[in-house]
Structure 1
Amino acid sequence: MGIIRTSGKWTAVRPSPNGITGVGTEHVEWGEPTERRKSGYRFTGGETQALLNGTEFTLATFTHENFPINSGNMREWDVELQVNVAFEDGKTKDFTFTFHHNETENSGPHPEDIVSLPEFISPETVTVDGQPYKVMLSGFKRGGQIVRQFDSPENGTNRADIVAVFAKPGKPDVAITRVEAEGTVPGTQADEYVEVFNRGTEAADMSGWTLRARNSGKQFTFPAQTALKPGLRYRVYTNERHPETGGFSFGSSEPVWDDVADVAVLSDGKGKQVSRFRYGQVITPEPAEEMEGPGEAHPRVAVKNNDKQALGRQKVVISLPENGPIRFHASQNTLALWNVRHNREDKFTGAVSADGRTLTVDVDLDIPLGRTQPMWVQVSVDPGAPSGSYTIHWELGELGSANSTLRVK
């Protein structure tokens, strides 16, 4: 979809503790300070790359300013948030969510306040290319982990990224989102795990579903009555059980996942593939190309194959900034790559979108183990293009994504 811009305001606090200020702004505060200042929430939006394929993105930064206060007789309340999303085509849309705040006793057994997300799927929808979507808040990202609630230490400013996804309403959408292949337990790597995430708006019945490792051939079967609710995640460990993430384990006394490169496959109870996750490939942008003015440019990325098996045919989608001075003309419908196995240039023809902002190509990536293969496309820079840096987004099928840069002087 491209770049979106977000802003937000806290619209209500219910029920209201003492000293509420800032409702209707990005910074709401409450309480009577007992030492330094009030406590409160702050929403900091900005620009981010957002896709419609279920990929999570950072919506904004959330800040809890947590200081000793007197909140009266109240300890818990809801804080309502309205997020405005501005799309590249000029369309804007408001989405609403609810945060829950637990102002714990500072001298009690749990002095850290608790912030959680009870209402994380927007009731509002937006239609993009004829398909309705809701915004779902996956959770707070802190220390590389995405959680639905976190403890906020007293006497400090505690931040977390708010991670979101555009979700198709009315159905589940389960996908493998992470493989932690290198465990820390010596020998057995018992703490390896695979994470599956329901990025849809309805619960998924996963009874009898299987998770298989391509290289080792090991397979785990989800037990009967396994349901994954919207916005939640399960993990399947190699030989550990963690109830907070479902309690699932292969029960294997040896590693399940290849440390370097492998493929995880999730299938439903009838054997139909639901999700496939490949890891071990490295996609890097080539150095930014610089243009003095109008003309043709050749943005590029390089792919390194760390897999023992072929990468196969991948659907590559290259997206240009929607309102930028860069475009694909109809004749610029080819992706070229340097075939390092045969030492030659190969070309693959695809389709340019009607607005000239997207090129979609099926590419055969025949890259030997350990080798790196560059690929590039041709784009046109408009006359009178404003100087600046322009981001070009590459989606390489199941291999992942990368951004390259074109600078116009």
Structure 2
Amino acid sequence: MSGGDDDKHLRPASRLVRGGRRKEWTGPVVNPPVWRGSTHLYDTDADRHAAGGNNADGQFFYGRRGAPTQWALAEALTQLEAGAYGTQLYPSGVAAIAGCMFAVLKPGDRLLMADNAYDPSRSMATGLLARMGVETTFFDPRDLDGFTAAVPGAKAVWLEAPGSLTFEMCDVPALAAAARAAGAVTMIDNTWASPLGFAALDHGCDIVMMSLSKHVGGHSDLMMGSASAGKRWYTALRRTAQELGQVVSPDDAALAARGLRTMGVRLEAQTRSALQIAAWLESQPQVARVLCPMLPSDPGHALWQRDFTGGCGLFAFVLASNDPAASARVADALQMFGIGYSWGGFESLALPIAPATYRSVMPCGTGGAPALRLAIGLEDADDLIADLAQALALV
């Protein structure tokens, strides 16, 4: 069991099982043990000096640089991400977003951010980054000509595909190519698809970020994020994370590694159920439209089909109602869907959404009508449909 570079030729399902399970990290057991320790000891002072100069996973030095529990998770994620040299771990998805921004941007730089990006990404741009002197311009990622005209002079671009809440697709390879031609760094939040569904670096992005709290953890019991990149930007990510004192706990890393082993089968099951439920919703008179690029009827389906190899259980739908309270009424009536943030766990969630609050240049995607985001879990799809049917009857 190597679990190392020799496994890169394997298909994703095999890499999910084997990744990061080096013999020197696992010993005689299947999983890397949970190494809890702030202090690492040396036989001699010369060994201490040597460890300090070898800043790489696999080298004991001090707790902030991790130990086998964290190294194994990072290596497994790197093996899944085609084109990655390394992966940096962070204590939350938002911390990973900040880690990417700080590794690339400095005062005086200009950032282009997709207008349908995750709200904390937008808030970071208008708050923390603005305070440090970074100018952000929001853009419609579906408008390639407009983007090509705007990108000269920008230091970086932040994408998300599909978009947050309203799930618009964009042409990631074309946007990344235009950014690279202008000398800009392309970063992408790839939490929705994960590397199993979209190989972001292979499609032209320079840095790919994920919230591991979602699909990788898979059980709604940890907070963590990651960023993967080729050697140049991975080195910058690692250096910046260390300068900020970013470290993940070994206990959370062990939970994330455990979740990673079953991520493939969970995503397949959740995607299958989501497609069944989304298609059913399209046929309901109380539903105006379903926002899901996996559906053939979706405006972004051709792009999703061209570039993506998988999906997930997250999508939204718009109610055929002018009553702003209708989405909350549906959510409150659901018995099998929890009401809560996050997604990617084994349980289904429903969340009323108002995306107009988080848009600057794009239409809100719902026409201002009441809408809900669904995160489909591992329950039986027919049971979830029955629950949605009784709740929609109240609209």
Structure with max Cα Rg? 1
Which protein has the bigger helix share?
2
Q: How does the TM-score come out when normalised to structure 2? A: 0.28
The answer to which structure, 1 or 2, has the higher relative contact order (CA under 8 A, 6+ apart) is 2
User: If the length of structure 1 is used for normalisation, what is the TM-score?
Assistant: 0.28
